[in-house]
Amino acid sequence: MIDVSRLRADTPGVKKVTHFNNAGAALMPNPVIDAVQDYFEHEALYGGYETHRKRGNQIEAVYQSLAELIGADRSEVALSDNATRAWDVMFYALGLGEGDRIVTTSSEYVSNWAAYLQARDQKGVVVDVVPDTTAGDLDVEALESMVNERETALITLNHMPTNGGLVNDAIAVGEVAARHDVAYLLDACQTIGQMPIDVREIGCDMLTGTSRKYLRGPRGVGFLYVRDSFADRLDPVFVEVENAPIVLPDSYTLARGAHRFETWEKSYANVAGFGAAIDYAMDVGIAEMWERIQRLASTMRQQLSMIEGVTVRDRGLTKGGIVTFEVDSRQTLEVRELLAERSINVSVSTPFSAPYDMHARSIEGLVRASVHAYNTDNEIDDLISAIQILA
């Protein structure tokens, strides 16, 4: 059983706000805050490079923790300043060209979607969107027949969209990818830290995620996983001192594995915080948090759907911590601001957040309330009361 009072005692922000924006950036627990501040203060007193040399083991341990978190080897993980850049450096390194087909899902995140459009317009890549099941998930059977019918270079999808609670069946997708020997890139930005993730079980070749959302780390850190034997096929867009450790006057040699997507300069204070976030999540227990998150979100959906003038919009057979809804009488931004006046933090999804899905469903905007394991039933009651008043 999860010790919620410990989670809350560890989280100074819960005394200030009712935070249902965990899918944006969650409240950091003390071990994360302390790790960032401690590292940063050492830099201020002894110098940035000097601190990095002295604390090399601490930084290396972050990579080890990350690898453990997702069931990967150390050589298969790299850090980035954000999940989008982590995703970009791999997607663009695939070298997709004229006539190459990629297959994706309807609820793809805006930044990935923009990259697909650019690949289509500039390289002649063909973008196929898998139909949804009636429940709203990616239809794995439809995916398989699409991949079966014509050669496909890449299956690329989010694990959980930005604008809804559904969890795509990443493992079933991985089985399709394996059967047809298609490369598989999974965007786990919303699920990492929220639910157990094992890259071997999923069978993806590449996976990306972030620090600031369900892992509760600092902003400005993202990560990538790339399977060892897959990495060496990828030609990174950028080469520099870190991912090309040997540069001679006339030639350079790329690093092997995920390291070919690393960059030299970063905020190591934030990296230290990211490591503390991973260790904290693993210590609390991700499977246990996932169970609680699902229960809390389900309670929230149920209670919201009982309010007249409120429509819950989440789809999917399996649902996670993201709850999206509309309030008939209010604009979404207005709902966010009225809740903020009561120190309740929620977010909004606009048609730009997930362009294909929002247009397909003709949605103008959604209020997004995303719960984490440190949230409580009392906090949900507060949100429900507030929505009842403003609906």
**Least distance in Å: CB of 312 to its own copies?**
22
**Least distance in Å: CB of 78 to its own copies?**
14
What is the per-residue burial (b if ≥16 Cβ within 10 Å, else e) of 228-250? eebbeebebeeeeebbbeeeeee
- Contacting its own copies (CB under 8 A), which of 38, 68, 81, 382? 81
Work out whether 40 is an interface residue with its own copies (CB under 8 A): yes
Range 48-77, binding its own copies (CB under 8 A): 48-50
Work out whether 388 is an interface residue with its own copies (CB under 8 A): no
Cβ nearer to its own copies, comparing 61 with 114: 114
The region of 131-139, 196-204, 215-223, 289-297 touching its own copies under the rule CB under 8 A is: 215-223
Work out whether 247 is an interface residue with its own copies (CB under 8 A): yes
CB 180 within 8 A of CB 147: yes
**Least distance in Å: CB of 121 to its own copies?**
8
Cβ nearer to its own copies, comparing 35 with 186: 35
**Least distance in Å: CB of 173 to its own copies?**
22
Work out whether 212 is an interface residue with its own copies (CB under 8 A): yes
Cβ nearer to its own copies, comparing 161 with 203: 161
Q: Which two tokens stand for residue 127?
A: 């973008």
Range 87-116, binding its own copies (CB under 8 A): 88, 92, 110-111, 113-115
Cβ nearer to its own copies, comparing 48 with 196: 48
- Contacting its own copies (CB under 8 A), which of 218, 257, 275, 320? 218
Work out whether 8 is an interface residue with its own copies (CB under 8 A): no
Work out whether 31 is an interface residue with its own copies (CB under 8 A): no
One-letter amino acid of 281: A
Range 262-291, binding its own copies (CB under 8 A): 263-270
CB 188 within 8 A of CB 197: yes
Cβ nearer to its own copies, comparing 144 with 332: 332
**Least distance in Å: CB of 186 to its own copies?**
18
Q: In whole angstroms, how far apart are CA 39 and each of 4, 81, 96, 264?
A: 28, 17, 40, 18
* Nearest-angstrom CA–CA distance, 67 and 77: 6
Instruction: Please write down the HEC assignment for all residues of the chain.
Output: CCCHHHHHHCCHHHHCCEECECCCCCCCCHHHHHHHHHHHHHHHHHCHHHHHHHCHHHHHHHHHHHHHHHCCCHHHEEEECCHHHHHHHHHHHHCCCCCCEEEEECCCCHHHHHHHHHHHHHHCCEEEEECECCCCCECHHHHHHHHHHCCCCEEEEECCCCCCCECCCHHHHHHHHHHHCCEEEEECCCCECCECCCHHHHCCCEEEEECCCCCCCCCCCEEEEECHHHHCCCCCCCCCCCCCCEECCCCEECCCHHHHHCCCCCCHHHHHHHHHHHHHHHHHCHHHHHHHHHHHHHHHHHHHHCCCCEEECCCCCCECCEEEEEECCCCHHHHHHHHHHCCEECEEECCCCCHHHHHHCCCCCEEEEECCCCCCHHHHHHHHHHHHHHC
Cβ nearer to its own copies, comparing 313 with 336: 336
- Contacting its own copies (CB under 8 A), which of 9, 171, 241, 317? 241
The region of 150-158, 194-202, 232-240, 279-287 touching its own copies under the rule CB under 8 A is: 232-240
Range 310-329, binding its own copies (CB under 8 A): none
Cβ nearer to its own copies, comparing 49 with 171: 49
- Contacting its own copies (CB under 8 A), which of 8, 180, 219, 361? 219
- Contacting its own copies (CB under 8 A), which of 16, 123, 233, 295? 16
- Contacting its own copies (CB under 8 A), which of 58, 65, 84, 194? 84
Range 332-371, binding its own copies (CB under 8 A): 340, 345, 347, 352, 355-356, 359-360
Work out whether 260 is an interface residue with its own copies (CB under 8 A): no
